Amino acid sequence: MGRKTKKDNLRTQLGLSQDHMALWLGESRSTYSMYELGQRCLPTVALLKYYEIKQAWEAFKADWQAPPAVEPDTDIDKEFKIMVLEHKLKKARYAIQNLDNLPNYLQTKDFFEQLRSTAKNRTEELVFELQMSHHAAEHLRQKEIRQKLLIEIQLLETELSILKS
């Protein structure tokens, strides 16, 4: 088992807290924490889910690699420019698709809001409120990224149509 380095840690690569990763895996935070520390193995169902997430992340990273930089050059022909723009357009569309596959932060915010009503003390209530505010902020961030991607797609499509005409 052994302790995983921060670079190898899927959770930190995804920017998730232990709570969120544990939630995705259907395990407690303490179980997931012990797994990260190499003190125990994950149950089979959680391990399968972990590797599903890891495979999806690896596929996403492989497709998201930036194309080689092309220096502006007057000799670059029109077809090459079109090919580069189509590649950028494909990546932007794929990014939106992957954004749609991220956790539904509004749904999980509602989940924590519902849990807040069952809080046994003020500390639990504050923890749930913190989670709700984090999820609301994450939802807004995703919405902002989506907006930027949609604008980028419109610009690329316009540029492509001009080049093709």
> What was the pLDDT predicted at 142?
85
> What was the pLDDT predicted at 10?
84
pLDDT bracket for residue 106 (50, 70, 90): low
Residues 54 and 72 in one domain: no
**Mean pLDDT, rounded, of the chain:** 80
Residues 85 and 139 in one domain: yes
Residues 21 and 85 in one domain: no
Give the range among 31-35, 57-61, 110-114, 118-122 with minimum mean pLDDT.
110-114
Residues 84 and 38 in one domain: no
Range(s) of the domain holding residue 2: 1-58
Whether 6 shows a pLDDT value over 70: the answer reads no
pLDDT bracket for residue 73 (50, 70, 90): low
> What was the pLDDT predicted at 65?
64
Rounded to an integer, the average pLDDT of 52-61 is 83
Give the helix/strand (H/E) hosting 21: helix 18-25
Chosen domain end from 58, 79, 96: 58
- Any idea of the CA torsion for 29, 31, 36, 39, to the nearest 10 degrees? 150
Alpha carbons 36 and 8: distance in angstroms, whole number: 11
Specify the number of domains making up the chain.
2
Chosen domain end from 58, 84, 104: 58
Alpha carbons 46 and 26: distance in angstroms, whole number: 7
* End-to-end CA gap in the chain: 59
Residues 128-165 pLDDT 10s = 778 778 777 888 888 898 899 999 999 999 988 888 88
Cα-based angle 71, 68, 61 (whole degrees, multiple of 5): 150
Residues 98 and 72 in one domain: yes
Q: What is the CATH number of the domain that holds 22?
A: 1.10.260.40
Residues 1 and 48 in one domain: yes
> What was the pLDDT predicted at 132?
78
